[in-house]
Amino acid sequence: MEAKRAEKEDKVKSERMSLSRQIEEAMKVVEDDELGDEDFTITIESPNTSHLPGPAIRSTTSIPKTETEFPHVKVRTGRTKLSEPLMRALVQCLSEYKVTANDLLGIAVTLANTVFGQKWQKSGSDSNGDPKEDLGCEPLSSDDEGDCDPLTLKRSKRDLTFVMPSRKCMSMYLQDASVLNLEMVARKLTQKNSSTVVTVGIDDATKAAGHKHFHVKTDHITLKDRDSGIRETFTTGYVENPSHTGESGADAYHYKLQCLAILADTSVNDMKQMIDFWITDRAGDCSTMLEHLGVSDDKKLKCSAHIVLAVDHALEKVFKDVEQKVGIEKLIRVNNILKSNSSIHTLGLIAVAKLLSPSHASHSVSLFTEFKDWLDAKGLNRAAFKGFVSNRFGRPLELSVEFVKNRENLIDFFDAIVDENSNKLVLAVHTFITNEWFLCCAEVYQLFGEILLYPLMDSLGIDGRGPKEARTWSTLKAFFHEKLARLNALKSDFQQARTGKGQLIHAALTESIKALVRQLSDIKYFDTEESEDSTMDFDKLQLAPITNLGSESEFAKLSNRIQFAGGMTTMKTHSEKNIVSSNGYLVSPGFTALKREEKTDKWKWARSSEPVNEVKRLERDFLATVKATKSLSLVKKEEIKKKKCRRMLELLDKCKEHRGPVTISTIDYIKRLYQAQLIAEIGYLRQTICPDIRQKRRTRGSDGRFRFQTFSVEQLRNSIRSAVKPEGEPVSDLDGLIKSALISL
C-alpha cells in the first residue's frame, strides 16, 4: 500500500512539474516577442488545474523562513577560537555606545535567541548551576568590574559552542582592536602622498572644562588631500600625564609618537616629519610643549576659536574693573546674589541659564516650562523662546542677546506669577533681570556680537555657522585685518563719548583690540607676508583646520564616558574605546574587504606580535612613571597645604596687631586701617572664606610689558566689605557711577 501511495504521489508531482515547465516556456515566448502589432499578440489562457492537489504554479514570492529554519551560528569553534565577525561586532558596539560589557553580551544573547532562534548562552549561565567557568582567557585586567572570584573558577567540561565570551575576553579583544586602529593611523601617516596635509591638534583636560581630577591629553589628527578634497580624522586616544606643565605634556605625546613609530616600523623623527602642522589652544604651556617636541615655528598654529574666549575675557575684565572701582554694593543688591570673583554680568548669565534652561526643565527649580506656558497664555510667540542654552564658545554672547530680547517679558512673568522669595536662585534671577547694570553689560555684549563675535563665529564654523569652503587661513587673515580696522574706527568714535555707557564701550573696545592683537601675534602666519622668502608653506596651510575644536570634541566624548562609567573604568579603557570608535578601522572597507584568513592573521598580529609586545612594554613603563610622579605630587601637595596653614597663622598674627581680623560685627573698623593692614586682611580672607578676593589688577606699561598694580585704599576696603558683609542700596545714577569709575582706568 505504501509503495502504491508513493508511486501515485510521484506521478502527481511529475505532472505538476511538466505542466509548470510548459507554462514557463509559453510565458517566455510572450516576453521574447518583439512585435509591436496587437494583431500578432499571442494570448495564452491559464490551464485548468482544479483537479490537481495544490497550486499548479509556484509563487515567485519568497516564503520567509521560520525561526527554526534559520541556521545556527556558532559562537566558537574551539575553547579559544571565537567567531571573528561576532567579536568584531561586539567590540565595535562596546566602543561606540554607552553600554557595559555585561549588558552588551546580554542584549546580544536575547536578540539572537528571540529573533533568530539561536541557542546562545552568556558565560557562566550553565543551566545545571555549575560555578562560573574559565573560558581559557587571560586573567581579569585591573579595570574590569570583577563579577567572579578567580578562586572559584574551574574548567568547564560542557559544550561551549554557543557560549558567549567572558568580559575579560572582551577586554582583551578591545585592546587588540585599539592596536589595529593605531597601526592603521600609523600606516596612514607614513604612506601619505605629497598632496596630503597632516595636522595634529593637541589639547588637555583643564579645570575650566570641568576635569578637576584628570590630567589627560588627547589629539585629533586631520588628513586632507589637495587633489581629491577628501578629509579624514583620526585619534590616538587619551593619555595620562603627571601635570599640566609643558614638559609633562611633551613627554606624554612623545610616548604616543613612539607607539606609532613602532607600529609603522619607523623612527620618531620620521613620524614627526610626516606632520605638516601642529595646532593647540592658547595656553602658555602649549608653546613649551611644542618646543620640547622640537616643532619649528613654521609648523605651529593656534586655535582661532579661542580668540572668542579672549574677547570674552577682555569684556569681563572691563566689567570687573568698573565694579571694583565703584563697589558692587552701589550697582546691585548684593544680599540677593552669591559672592564670587566673577563680574555681575557673568553671575547673572549663569543664574538665568540655570533657571530658564531647557536642560533644567525637569528640575524643581526650573521655570522654563512655566515661562513658555505663560507666553502661550498671553498670545505671544511661544516657539521663539528657545531657552538660555549654554555653549562654551560664544556662551556669554548668546545668553546676553537672548536676555535683552526677552527682558520685558521676563519681568512681566515674574511680576505676574513668580514668588521671587521662593528660593535663592529665583531671588537672584529676579534681582539680575531688574538690574540696570546687568542690562547695560548685556547690551554692550550685544553690540560686540554684531560687530565682531557673530561674524567671527560664522567664519570659524562654530555651531555649524557659515560655509565650509570659507574656513581657510587666508580668509581668516583678511577677516581680522578688516575687523581690526573697523574696531579702531569705532574706538575713535566712542573716544569722545559723554555718556557712561559710551565710555564703557570705548574701554571695552580698547581691551578687545589689545586682546586680538596679542592673540594674533602668537601665529606667525598673521605677521608674515606670503612671499618667496618665507619658510612657511602657504599652500599647505590653506588645507589645515583653523580651529582645534576636534580635540574639544574628543574631551566631550570623554566627559560622557566618565559620567556613564561613574569612575569605575580606567583611563586606559576609555582611550581604547575612543580609538576604536573614532577611527572605525574594524568597519571600514580596508578591513571588511579582507579574506577570512587575512582577518584572522590581523587579530593574531595585534595579540602577540613583536611590535605589539614592544608597544605594551612601553605603555607599562610610561604608566609606571606617571603613577610614581603622581605619588610624589601628593607629597608635594601636602607640603603646600602645610605651608598654606603656616601662612594663614602668620597673617592671623599680623591682623591681631591692629585688632583684626575684621568680622561682620567689626566691619566698620576697616575705615581706620591703612594700605598694609588692609592687604594683610585681604590675605587672611583669601586663606579662609574668600579665595578669589582681589587686591591687584594687571596693567600694560608704556614699554608694552604687563605689570600688576595694587588697588587704592578705597578699593581695598570695598573688596573686604564685599567679602565679609555685602550690603547697601544700588545708586540710581548708574551713568555717573560708570563715568567716575572709567576716569582712572
Q: What is the pLDDT of residues 22-53, one digit of tens each?
A: 655 644 543 444 434 443 333 444 455 555 45
Grid cell at residue 284: 602658555
Confidence tier at 298 by pLDDT (50, 70, 90):
confident
Mean pLDDT of 585-600: 93
Lowest mean pLDDT among 136-145, 384-393, 583-592: 136-145
Asked if residues 681 and 670 have their Cβ atoms less than 8 Å apart, the reply is yes
Asked if residues 202 and 280 have their Cβ atoms less than 8 Å apart, the reply is yes
Asked if residues 630 and 242 have their Cβ atoms less than 8 Å apart, the reply is yes
Cis before residue 131, ω within 30 degrees of 0? no
**DSSP secondary structure code for residue 236 in this structure:** -
Asked if residues 332 and 431 have their Cβ atoms less than 8 Å apart, the reply is yes
What pLDDT is attached to residue 384?
A: 72
Query: Which amino acid, 461?
Result: G
Cis before residue 589, ω within 30 degrees of 0? no
What pLDDT is attached to residue 4?
A: 65
Domain boundaries, the chain: 1-63, 182-300+570-632, 308-527, 638-742
Element (H, E) at 408: helix 395-417
- In the predicted model, is pLDDT for residue 484 greater than 70? yes
Dihedral angle sign, alpha carbons of residues 86, 87, 92, 95: positive
Of the two residues 50 and 442, the one the predictor is more confident about is 442
DSSP lists the bridge partners of residue 155 as: 134
Element (H, E) at 231: strand 231-234
Closest CA relative to residue 452, chosen from 392, 513, 499: 513
Closest CA relative to residue 252, chosen from 280, 230, 219, 276: 219
Q: CB within 8 A of 412, min separation 6: which ones? A: none
Please name the residue that has the C-alpha cell 588631500: 225
Q: What is the share, in percent, of the chain residues with pLDDT greater than 70?
A: 81
What pLDDT is attached to residue 435?
A: 92
Mean pLDDT of 88-106: 94
What pLDDT is attached to residue 727?
A: 65
- Burial label, 284 (beta-carbon count in 10 A; 0-12, 13-18, 19+): exposed
Q: What is the pLDDT of residues 331-363, one digit of tens each?
A: 888 766 666 678 899 999 988 888 888 877 666
First vs last Cα of the chain: how many Å apart?
116
Distance between CA atoms of 97 and 95, rounded to whole angstroms?
Answer: 6
Q: How many residues does the chain have?
A: 745
Confidence tier at 155 by pLDDT (50, 70, 90):
low
Element (H, E) at 317: helix 306-326
Give the Å distances, CA to CA, from 499 to 441, 496, 733, 735, 741.
Answer: 14, 9, 12, 7, 12
Grid cell at residue 308: 572668542
Q: Around Cβ 340, how many Cβ atoms within 10 Å?
A: 12
Please name the residue that has the C-alpha cell 593637541: 202
What pLDDT is attached to residue 728?
A: 63
What pLDDT is attached to residue 41?
A: 39
The distance between the two most distant Cα atoms of the chain, rounded to a whole number of Å, is 126
H-state helical runs in 267-305:
268-273, 284-292
Distance between CA atoms of 342 and 313, rounded to whole angstroms?
Answer: 11
Highest-scoring range by mean pLDDT, 243-247, 469-473, 680-684, 688-692: 680-684
Closest CA relative to residue 219, chosen from 267, 264, 255, 190: 255
Mean pLDDT of 264-276: 93
What pLDDT is attached to residue 35?
A: 38
What pLDDT is attached to residue 34?
A: 40
Closest CA relative to residue 615, chosen from 176, 281, 160: 176
Q: What is the pLDDT of residues 594-646, one digit of tens each?
A: 999 999 999 999 999 999 999 999 999 998 888 888 788 788 888 888 998 99
Please name the residue that has the C-alpha cell 516650562: 369
Distance between CA atoms of 509 and 484, rounded to whole angstroms?
Answer: 10
H-state helical runs in 97-166:
101-115
Q: Around Cβ 482, how many Cβ atoms within 10 Å?
A: 11
Residue 221, CB-side half-sphere exposure with 13 Å CA sphere:
25
Confidence tier at 408 by pLDDT (50, 70, 90):
very high
Q: Around Cβ 423, how many Cβ atoms within 10 Å?
A: 12
3-state SS string for 505-565: HHHHHHHHHHHHHHHHCCCHHHHCCCCCCCCCCHHHHCCCCCCCHHHHHHHHHHHHHHHHH
Element (H, E) at 154: strand 154-155
3-state SS string for 198-211: EEEEEEECCHHHCC
Mean pLDDT score of the chain, rounded to an integer? Answer: 81
- In the predicted model, is pLDDT for residue 687 greater than 60? yes
Please name the residue that has the C-alpha cell 604612506: 191
Q: Around Cβ 1, how many Cβ atoms within 10 Å?
A: 5
Helical axes 675-687 vs 713-724, angle rounded to 10°: 30
Distance between CA atoms of 119 and 573, rounded to whole angstroms?
Answer: 31
Distance between CA atoms of 541 and 477, rounded to whole angstroms?
Answer: 12
Distance between CA atoms of 618 and 251, rounded to whole angstroms?
Answer: 13
Lowest mean pLDDT among 71-80, 157-166, 522-531: 522-531
What pLDDT is attached to residue 212?
A: 53
- In the predicted model, is pLDDT for residue 532 greater than 60? no
Q: Around Cβ 653, how many Cβ atoms within 10 Å?
A: 11
Q: CB within 8 A of 534, min separation 6: which ones? A: 528
**DSSP secondary structure code for residue 295 in this structure:** -
Element (H, E) at 197: strand 196-204
Grid cell at residue 703: 614699554
Distance between CA atoms of 328 and 313, rounded to whole angstroms?
Answer: 19
Lowest mean pLDDT among 38-52, 61-75, 76-90: 38-52
What pLDDT is attached to residue 29?
A: 44
Highest-scoring range by mean pLDDT, 381-395, 498-512, 548-562, 690-704: 498-512
What pLDDT is attached to residue 28?
A: 52
Of the two residues 30 and 566, the one the predictor is more confident about is 566
Distance between CA atoms of 342 and 722, rounded to whole angstroms?
Answer: 13
Please name the residue that has the C-alpha cell 605594551: 616
Distance between CA atoms of 444 and 401, rounded to whole angstroms?
Answer: 10
What phi, psi does 547 have (nearest 5°)? -130, 165
Distance between CA atoms of 363 and 384, rounded to whole angstroms?
Answer: 22
Of the two residues 297 and 127, the one the predictor is more confident about is 297
Asked if residues 334 and 727 have their Cβ atoms less than 8 Å apart, the reply is yes
Dihedral angle sign, alpha carbons of residues 271, 277, 280, 284: positive
Going by their DSSP bridges, the two strands 696-700 and 238-240 should be labelled as unpaired
Of the two residues 692 and 204, the one the predictor is more confident about is 204
Q: CB within 8 A of 434, min separation 6: which ones? A: 411
What pLDDT is attached to residue 245?
A: 80
